[in-house]
Amino acid sequence: MRLFIAEKPSLGRAIAAGLGDAEKRNGYIECGQNVVTWCFGHLLEMDKPEEYDEKYRTWKKEDLPILPNSFNASVRKESAAQLKIIGKLLQDAERVVNAGDPDREGQLLVDEVLEYHNYAGSCERIWLAALDDKSVKKALSSMTDNNDYIGLRDAARARSQADWLVGINCTRAMTLIGRDAGSHGVLSLGRVQTPTLALVVNRDLVIENFKPHPYFTLHVEILHETGRFTGTFQPLDTQKGLDDQGRLINPDEAFRIKKEVSGQTGKVIESVTEKKKKNPPLPHCLSSLQKAASSKLGMGAKQVLDAAQALYEKKLTTYPRSDCRYLPEEQFDEAGSVLAVLASLPGLEQVAENTDSSIKSAAYNTKKVTAHHAIIPTGETPSNLSGDESALYHMIAQSFCIQFYAAMEFEAQKILTGINNTVWKSTGRKILNPGWTAFIKEEKSDAEKAEKNEEQDLPIVHEGDGITAADVEIKSKKTKPPARFTEGMLIEAMANIHRFIENTDAKKTLKENEGIGTEATRAGIIETLKARHLLALQKKNITSTDLGRQLVKMAPEVLTDPVTTAQWESRLSAIADGKESLSGFMTDQTIQVPELIKAIFALQLDPLPGTHLCPECGQPLRRQKSKKGSWYWGCFNQQGHAKPVFLNDKNGKPDLTPKKKIEVSKHKCQACGKPLVKRESKKKGKGGKKNYWWGCSGFPECRQTYFDDNGKPQFKDKKGE
């Protein structure tokens, strides 16, 4: 019997359909001589610190760093039954097929199940990037030895173990030192989440501290014998009154240029006309899909990933967690049948019907395909889609369709004119063939957006031609801060974080390793930061909270610097390729973590904004929850006072209201002889009349109480006055 172990039930069902003769059983499917079973994601999870030693259940500075000699994993409670089913099936298996998702996490996920059951038999690997019938059957016929992926498994294991070491130790250290500064919650740190948080914090601070300053742009209408066109002032290196970005900020200079150019003659100093083509944008990878869906549909990053995953599991689109925007050339011949299906779907008829399946776009390039190819439709007919799924499917299908359109052809024009020792630039573009832009709105790249020259239909001019300037127009403008991040923009920033780094070598490292995080993890990282109240959504924008800013301010630079995680990813890739070992990588982490802990504990933190201080010693109070579920505030500074100070919670703040002075009476307690105190009872008498009782001032040592008798304590023997 050959046993397939899939990463999830949907993948298992797709494999069973490809094998045929499927008969469903409890936790698996029989397909003749084949059996298909599945995991539910990770069936095992890494042990918590307290599972290595009970003392780690309480967070203490003296217990850090926590460095296990070996890492253990335990069965997740909700996975125990399925893991047992897999174990029984393995006993009868002659061969096993690892059917994890086509990435390093999918490799480890199944391999660790085999290790748990001590399976040492023959094992193959199936690599499935799409779940449509054709892709499944093709993958079934081209399986390889699972041992070829040992490096991929070790890379996943290195990632999880190193993340455990850094996350557990640094989070505990930062939380403990944060408490001394008045923090109440967990201050979590991580190799990807912390630099991601720093991205948002830094952007928010730039925006809030931004001071706009005015600048001026100058425009002139130029008269030529073949027509009129507009030129924009281009400052020379010798121009006075410019800022560091080359913008004209001196109004006197602006009016001087206007006066000296208006109505003057000049000549054409350069005229260039060039025919160009603009190919359709490549099909989507996950990050480009998340950015586009955020901009056009207002969808969050995780929302996009969830919808894309659902489309994949319904066999409508290919593997969603792809970092690649290219397609295998071997799939080109299948495009026609996919386009035929798309042409029959409402909303896609026009763009699909006008495709030309003989056009082979730049997207078809096997050499540029990584572990997964771009996200495209499979050719299956969709049905019963949710609103998010439908919108995303149309976006994926549309980006696939335009691969089969001609490029947009245009004539790019540029004219430079010289007028009285000044230079003016005019740009134009004449569309020769709209190509794919006839059906899809052209989206300009960031570089094209940065070119703010207005395009116009320019007349034919030649170098040396004479021209005349009409009146110069001065436009007053103000500099603007960068835009706040949306989730889509933040995903793109994580993938292209090299753009935010000045160091040349670091830029190269980050660009080569495609940023921080992976296509599969970025959305989850943002969700984690939101769940921990470090980031928050404000309409479509994502902003840092006060807690998030405090954390970035306190964290060691090595954890906020994106180069650190990029270097990790570089080494993990080396492990996957067999160029580096798991043990070597982890040895370095066990050396680095104690240094990180030392750096965190060396921080000298002032009380954080909004911190409530102890009325006796001035140290930060901590909000705690009692065993009964009620909140209170405590100060545990043993040096400041003899015993802990506890205060009631009042609307999320400590109740610092001075306690009323207790007035003692001349009446004595019969039990201990101390003065009695008259107190008002919570229970009212007839007509709402107040009731009273008497208690011993020696409480809690003496708990004697007495009824009130007309303003006096009621003693049993009528004595005690």
- Identify the pLDDT of residue 454: 65
CATH superfamily of 214-277+408-478: Topoisomerase I, domain 3 (2.70.20.10)
Which class would CATH give 2-142? Answer: alpha beta
| Band of residue 258 on the pLDDT scale cut at 50, 70, 90 | very high
At residue 302, the pLDDT reads 93
- 646: enclosing H helix or E strand: strand 645-650
- Reported as a single tens digit per residue, the pLDDT across 560-569 is 988 887 788 8
* pLDDT tens, residue by residue, 47-101: 999 999 999 999 999 999 999 999 999 999 999 999 999 999 999 999 999 999 8
Coil, strand or helix at 527:
helix
Give residue 702's pLDDT: 86
pLDDT of residue 207: 96
Number of helical H runs and strand E runs in the chain: 21, 26
Q: Which residue has the higher pLDDT, 641 or 332?
A: 332
Is the pLDDT confidence value at 612 over 90?
A: no
Could you please state the CATH topology (level 3) that the domain comprising 286-404 is classified under.
Topoisomerase I; domain 4 (1.10.290)
Give catalytic residues, as residue numbers: 319
**Backbone angles phi and psi of 358, in degrees to 5:** -85, -15
Q: What is the pLDDT of residue 664?
A: 75
pLDDT (0 to 100) of residue 529: 93
Two structure tokens written together for 406: 């001609």
For residue 684, what are the contacts with CB-CB under 8 A and spacing of at least 6?
A: 690, 691
Among candidate residues 224, 238, 225, the one with its CA nearest the CA of residue 423 = 238
Q: Is the pLDDT of residue 109 over 70?
A: yes
537 SS3 class: strand
Q: Which CATH class is domain 160-206+488-601?
A: mainly alpha
Residue 369 has pLDDT above 80, yes or no: yes
Q: What is the mean pLDDT of the chain?
A: 90
pLDDT score recorded for residue 34: 97
Tell me the pLDDT tens digit for each residue of 122-157: 999 999 877 778 888 889 999 999 999 999 999 999
Question: Which are the contacts of 449, defined by CB distance < 8 A and separation ≥ 6?
Answer: none
Whether 643 has a pLDDT exceeding 70, the answer reads no
Q: What pLDDT shows up at residue 17?
A: 93
Give Cα separations from 107 to 81, 124, 490, 518, 563 (angstroms): 22, 11, 28, 16, 26
Residue 84: its H or E element: helix 80-92
What is the chain's alpha carbon radius of gyration, rounded to the nearest angstrom? 35
Q: Where are the alpha helices (DSSP H) in 513-545?
A: 522-531
pLDDT of residue 502: 74
pLDDT at position 516, please? 84
Interval 405-447: pLDDT, tens: 999 999 999 999 999 999 999 999 999 999 999 888 877 655 5
How far apart CA 627 and CA 629 sit, in angstroms, is 5
**Domain 160-206+488-601 identical in fold to domain 286-404:** no
Burial code (b: 16+ CB inside 10 Å, e: under 16) for 675-698 equals: ebbbeeeeeeeeeeeeeebbbbeb
Where do we find the tokens 């690892």? 98
Q: What is the pLDDT of residues 621-634, one digit of tens each?
A: 877 788 778 888 88
Decide: 496 and 300 in contact? Cβ < 8 Å.
Answer: no
**Spans of all domains in the chain:** 2-142, 160-206+488-601, 214-277+408-478, 286-404, 612-659, 662-721
pLDDT tens readout for residues 215-240 = 999 999 999 999 999 999 999 988 99
Within 10 angstroms of residue 159's Cβ, the number of other Cβ atoms is 22
* pLDDT at 721 (0 to 100): 46
What is the pTM for the complete model shown?
0.76
Per-residue pLDDT for 601 more than 80?
Answer: yes
> 216, 180, 97, 38: which is closest to 606 by C-alpha?
180
Instruction: Give the tokens for residue 374.
Output: 């771009």
Confidence class of residue 720 from pLDDT cuts 50, 70 and 90?
very low
